[in-house]
Amino acid sequence: MASVSDNVMKFFRSSSNQTARPAVPQRRTRRSSGMAEISRLLNSQEGLCVLDMGSTSASNIRFFTGRGHKNYSEDLLRSSLDPALRIQDSTGNTVVDSKKFLDENLVYANAQFDVVLCWNLPDYMEESLVKPTIDRLWSVMKPGGVLLAFFHTRDAGPDSICYRYHVTDTDMLEMQEVKFAPPGRPASDKQSPRLQRVFNNRHIENLFRDFASIKFFLARDAIREVLVVR
């Protein structure tokens, strides 16, 4: 039977079979059509509630609060890797306790958020947590609120780098490779999370079927941006 540690490690890339990467996490920029639409909303209204579900970013806090909006940060990918969420089911397999996960995360009042930035979370999160997380987001978003998510296309390989996103301009994002030490490993043993799956358009439409509308933006870097209206 696999240990909890083994089960957590499947969310990280193996360090043995990957090509050498620079010690300093890579940074690059990309233009984002979805972010441009979000920026138009942020510039047209005041006091919006923004939930950023990526790694904590000072750039993003500056971008949102500087425009008079409220910023909430919650790094859901990191929270989802908490070993305390791993339990054994009746057959002895280790599974993630989605109920406990939602008891401890995304705990907000209904209809609180105008904007939710999901970034690439669904692609890297444990499968059993994805749908419950999206359902919870539906509850905490205001009707008419918008959600931005990025999905890899089939062209992306399994070793696609997991990025965190810093908003640097109204339609420009700086991408920085995410690396953190898996639970139980020394802080120096930082690894990048592994791409868990590739959603096709039908999967994405099903994932957001309770939302009012969905818009796809295709990009050249094997990423589909998805803007969803609650």
**Of these, 41, 72, 82, 136, which contacts other proteins (CB under 8 A)?**
72
Residues 160-189 that bind other proteins (CB under 8 A): 176, 180, 187
**Of these, 7, 21, 70, 142, which contacts other proteins (CB under 8 A)?**
70
**Of these, 4, 36, 41, 61, which contacts other proteins (CB under 8 A)?**
61
Judged by beta carbon, residue 7 or residue 73, the one nearer other proteins is 73
Three-class DSSP category at 106: coil
Q: Which residues contact 78 (CB under 8 A, 6 or more apart)?
A: 55, 180
Give the number of other CB atoms < 10 A from CB of residue 93.
11
Identify the CA nearest to 184 among candidates 17, 1, 3: 3
Least CB distance to other proteins at residue 78 (A): 6
Least CB distance to other proteins at residue 213 (A): 28
Regarding 192 and contact with other proteins (CB under 8 A), the answer is no
Least CB distance to other proteins at residue 144 (A): 21
- Asked if 131 contacts 202 with a C-beta cutoff of 8 angstroms, the reply is no
DSSP H or E stretch at residue 225:
strand 223-229
Judged by beta carbon, residue 57 or residue 192, the one nearer other proteins is 57
Q: CA–CA separation, 170 vs 36, rounded Å?
A: 6
Q: What does DSSP say about strands 172-177 and 27-31: parallel, antiparallel, or unpaired? A: antiparallel
Q: Could you give phi then psi for residue 7, rounded to 5 degrees?
A: -70, -35
Least CB distance to other proteins at residue 49 (A): 9
Q: Which residues contact 187 (CB under 8 A, 6 or more apart)?
A: 181
Binding mask 94-133 for other proteins (x = CB under 8 A): ----------------------------------------
- Using CB under 8 A, list all residues that contact other proteins: 25, 56-59, 61-62, 65-66, 70-75, 78-79, 176, 180, 187
